[in-house]
Amino acid sequence: MKTPPMPGWEPTTSREPVHIPTADGKGIAETIWVEVPAWKNQDGEIFLDAEALTKLDDVKARHLGLLTPAEIKA
């Protein structure tokens, strides 16, 4: 299990929206909901870490037909 970013935070998951833009970039063509790892503090607030943000970026890249940063690096 990962070490919490702050003492007392607990691992959880969060369902987050990924907005896929229209071809002209002026609107949202589709919204996809993705379950990502997250942290919950003592007040019940949910925080996303770098792993969650990377997953959200990867989902958006795949739906746009783009390479993910990890694929570009490889």
Summarize pLDDT for 61-73 with one digit per residue, the tens.
998 889 988 888 8
Residues 6+ apart with CB under 8 A from 31: 17, 18, 19, 20
Q: Exposed (0-12), middle (13-18) or buried (19+): which is 38, by Cβ within 10 Å? A: buried
Summarize pLDDT for 7-29 with one digit per residue, the tens.
999 999 999 999 999 989 899 99
Instruction: Compute the distance between CA of residue 48 and CA of residue 68 in angstroms, rounded to an integer.
Output: 19
The pTM score is 0.83
